Amino acid sequence: MLFYKFQMTCELKIDKGGGNSLEARRAFKFHLSDLSAALSEGIDGDRVRVLIHRARQNLFQMLVAVDGFQELTAAKLTKLFERFFSEREEFGVKCVKVKDLQEMTATKFSRIFERASRSDNFNFDYYQINQDLGLDALENRTFKLTENICPVKRLPFETAKRDAQKLLADETFREEFERIYSKENAHHFYGQPVHYKIVAGNTSAALSLANLLVATLYTNKRLISRRINIITNVTDNCYDECDFEKILENAAGGTVVIELSGERVNTGQFAHAYEQVVEFIADTVKRYQRNTLCIFVELVDRPGFAPQLTARLQDDLHIIELHEGAGNRDTALKYLKDLMENSGAVTGLYTDAELLEAMGDKLTFSASDIFNVREKLFNSSLKNKTYPAYREVERLRVTDEEKSNDAYSDFQEMIGLKEQKALIEQIIAAHRVQKMRMDMNLDKQKAALHMSFTGTPGTAKTTVARLIAQILSRDGVLKTGRFVECGRADLVAKYVGWTAKAVRAKFREARGGVLFIDEAYSLSDGEHATFGDEAINTIVQEMENHRDDVIVIFAGYPDKMKDFLDRNEGLRSRIAFHVNFPDYTAEELTEIFKLMAKRRGYEISPDVAEHCKNIFRRVARKKNFGNGRFVRTLLEQAWLKQAQRIVKENESGEVTKEDLTSFKVEDFEVNVDKKYRDERKLGFIR
């Protein structure tokens, strides 16, 4: 559906009255009402719906909605009117001229249409037309919809390339522009051959790149509409949502941008919560993919349900992944100045020296970095330059020590693992050097650097794997740093043909990051061992297919992993690094305990620390005692015991901060400790 506004001038003959007499005005009002009703029923069948929203004697302000795949022009619309009025001589309209034809958003169309519906001058069925045009889908609670009209109508190839450089776009954009402008293509709208995923640091940077992409497609007649529908803040109950489907249907010939981070912060339950949303959006997109261009936006730090959705769509849509790029300080400064000039409130308030100072000491900047700098400067200018009375006002400050979110620092601060850290440092260095060699064209193909992590539960295998993904992403070795954890249940299906598809989907989900396969040996065990063999064979194949963009880490018990790899030479030959994670000592467990307690705001006294160390000495002699997981369980059960004690001891008194942030030795008389004192008893001991 395409929406326009325009002006129509004409010669209008009204039999009754003349001039500006009351009788003439009344005659015009009745005439206008009949004309409004006739136009709203549709021209050329109901393919073109015309609505009058303001009128003088021979000048009409009008809206038009077009259902079809031909871009409307003033000449085409004039011919439609001439044919319409020649068949309806009772209106006495002739000499029609259309001017100022402009495409508009559905939201603006709806607002003007609604105001016109409240006037007695116009006669049309507002509610029916609103529903027919899909305008009732604009208001909803399960996602946020915004729209804009791409400002560029025609964009030459060289200009598109220059604009991409200004926006700090990645090389992937230049490559796609060459395909879009290729003379081999038909320059006519027949449908959407491909769709896109833009990976960026924030939504603003992604949308600026999406606008440029739409401009190039519109220029080459791959789109007939410049309207862009932007869907953000998708909630986890956005499924079976008719409004979502109407928006994709109404965007035929145009573009829908879907930002996939979701409404909430990504947590361990995020993917599960959005399973139905992924299924619903995937099915809806597949139904409308031929005529509606979809641009999916994945935010690097908040991927949300992007991996699951793109993996689900990969077999049905041809999705091209595009990335924001980076530029040097000079390029970034020019881009920042352009952004500042577009923010009228801060234009001219900052010198180049002040802008460079705000950019800090970095040598390279992504588009997202510059948007973040612009936002900080804008906020600063409001307080320091536009409203300087607030310059000296103290701001609210958090005094607690802020935890560093640097993955490399977190890795170095992990307790123990001295030899393992040294080996992993080598692995990280190998990846970094390999990237440097590729950047200098010394290597044409990446070497596969897959890994095997062995150790008992709780020895930090998963934590280290996740940090490796983040570190290599920060260094630019991995594009996304995505961490996908899976096991047998995620890879082995119950029916023939399903297992290979499930494995390939997991590899696609992990593109640009790490695929962590826990208890990998279980693939060849169990009732469906044949399907497990299919999974292993597919994993070997996909490790080769994705050697450039996925690092696979297998994890599990040492003995079982050795037997598993001995039986699968194809896997063993593809694993470059083997890292063993030993059980923690009592001293290391004590340090882990102190660190966990500190992060939860507790102070650990020497007697409590010594008591816990004795517990760790006892359990560390047991087989499969849980290592770090045991420490976490001990702390959580001690917290429950402490809470019960505090309530009992302070029924009529006042609880102090010290009470809430300190433990006593008796708080650690808990089930998880008693279990290891008496192995003859199972479960909880009362």
Percentage of the chain surpassing pLDDT 90? 23
Are 638 and 670 spatial neighbours (Cβ–Cβ below 8 Å)? yes
Backbone angles phi, psi at 322, to 5 degrees: -120, 145
Res. 445 pLDDT band, cuts 50 70 90: low
On the question of pLDDT at 46 being above 60, the answer is yes
In this prediction, residue 240 carries a pLDDT of 65
Q: What's the mean pLDDT in 363-375?
A: 81
Give the torsion sign (CA, 432, 435, 440, 445): positive
Res. 404 pLDDT band, cuts 50 70 90: very low
Are 684 and 646 spatial neighbours (Cβ–Cβ below 8 Å)? no
Res. 685 pLDDT band, cuts 50 70 90: very low
Of 200, 212, 320, 209, the residue nearest 261 (C-alpha): 200
Res. 19 pLDDT band, cuts 50 70 90: low
| Residue indicated by tokens 């002040």 | 354
Are 366 and 201 spatial neighbours (Cβ–Cβ below 8 Å)? yes
On the question of pLDDT at 682 being above 50, the answer is no
**Domains 144-324 and 407-581 fall in the same CATH topology:** yes
Domain 407-581 has CATH 3.40.190.10: no
Res. 460 pLDDT band, cuts 50 70 90: confident
On the question of pLDDT at 223 being above 70, the answer is yes
Q: What's the mean pLDDT in 522-541?
A: 75
Rounded to whole angstroms, the Cα distance separating 274 from 194 reads 25
Question: Structural domain boundaries of the chain?
Answer: 2-135, 144-324, 327-386, 407-581, 586-677
Are 486 and 516 spatial neighbours (Cβ–Cβ below 8 Å)? yes
Secondary structure of 631-660 in HEC code, one letter for each residue: HHHHHHHHHHHHHHHHHHHCCCCCCCHHHH
Cross-strand pairs, 513: 550
Q: What's the mean pLDDT in 67-75?
A: 86
In this prediction, residue 356 carries a pLDDT of 82
Q: What's the mean pLDDT in 367-378?
A: 81
* pLDDT tens-place string over residues 238-297: 776 788 889 999 999 999 999 998 865 444 445 556 788 888 999 999 999 999 999 999
* pLDDT tens-place string over residues 617-642: 888 777 767 788 888 888 888 888 88
Q: Which CATH number fits domain 586-677: 1.10.150.120, 1.20.1630.10, 1.25.40.420, 1.10.8.60?
A: 1.10.8.60
Query: Which range is most confident: 140-149, 188-197, 272-281, 614-623?
Result: 188-197
On the question of pLDDT at 680 being above 70, the answer is no
Query: What value, to the nearest 5°, has the Cα angle with vertex 294 and ends 292 and 300?
Result: 175
Structure tokens at 149: 């009209």
Helices assigned H by DSSP within 121-241: 126-132, 157-166, 171-180, 203-219
In this prediction, residue 344 carries a pLDDT of 56
In this prediction, residue 176 carries a pLDDT of 95
On the question of pLDDT at 219 being above 60, the answer is yes
Of 338, 377, 328, the residue nearest 357 (C-alpha): 377
On the question of pLDDT at 385 being above 70, the answer is no
In this prediction, residue 101 carries a pLDDT of 93
Q: What's the mean pLDDT in 104-110?
A: 93
Rounded to whole angstroms, the Cα distance separating 167 from 176 reads 15
DSSP per-residue letters across 61-117: EEEEEE-SSS---HHHHHHHHHHHHHS-GGG-EEEEEEEEEEE--HHHHHHHHHHHH
Domain at 144-324: CATH architecture: 3-Layer(aba) Sandwich (3.40)
In this prediction, residue 182 carries a pLDDT of 94
Helices assigned H by DSSP within 274-351: 275-288, 306-313, 329-342
Which letter does DSSP use for residue 344 in this model?
A: G
Query: Mean pLDDT lowest for which of 98-112, 333-347, 454-468, 577-591?
Result: 333-347
Helix (H) or strand (E) holding 26: helix 22-40
On the question of pLDDT at 130 being above 50, the answer is yes
Rounded to whole angstroms, the Cα distance separating 76 from 57 reads 24
In this prediction, residue 393 carries a pLDDT of 63
Q: What's the mean pLDDT in 7-15?
A: 78
On the question of pLDDT at 20 being above 90, the answer is no
Rounded to whole angstroms, the Cα distance separating 392 from 395 reads 9
3-state secondary structure of 295: strand
Q: What's the mean pLDDT in 78-99?
A: 87
In this prediction, residue 389 carries a pLDDT of 67
In this prediction, residue 427 carries a pLDDT of 75
Of 72, 512, 125, 15, the residue nearest 303 (C-alpha): 512
On the question of pLDDT at 686 being above 60, the answer is no
On the question of pLDDT at 395 being above 70, the answer is no
Query: Which range is most confident: 346-350, 463-467, 647-651?
Result: 463-467
Rounded to whole angstroms, the Cα distance separating 138 from 243 reads 7
Give the torsion sign (CA, 116, 117, 122, 126): positive
Of 406, 549, 408, the residue nearest 479 (C-alpha): 549
Query: Mean pLDDT lowest for which of 399-408, 461-470, 542-551, 557-566?
Result: 399-408
First to last CA, the chain: 69
Rounded to whole angstroms, the Cα distance separating 135 from 129 reads 9
In this prediction, residue 43 carries a pLDDT of 84
Q: Which CATH number fits domain 2-135: 3.30.70, 1.10.8, 1.10.3470, 3.10.20?
A: 3.30.70
Long-range CB contacts for residues 424-427, cutoff 8 Å, separation at least 24: 424/464, 424/468, 424/579, 427/451, 427/468, 427/577, 427/579
When the pLDDT of each residue in the chain is averaged and rounded to a whole number, the result is 82
Which letter does DSSP use for residue 383 in this model?
A: I
Backbone angles phi, psi at 490, to 5 degrees: -85, -20
In this prediction, residue 98 carries a pLDDT of 92
Rounded to whole angstroms, the Cα distance separating 388 from 304 reads 40
Structure tokens at 328: 């040097």
Higher pLDDT, 206 or 481: 206
* pLDDT tens-place string over residues 83-92: 888 888 878 8
In this prediction, residue 354 carries a pLDDT of 76
Are 171 and 207 spatial neighbours (Cβ–Cβ below 8 Å)? no
* pLDDT tens-place string over residues 202-215: 898 999 999 999 99
At position 325, the amino acid (one-letter code) is: G
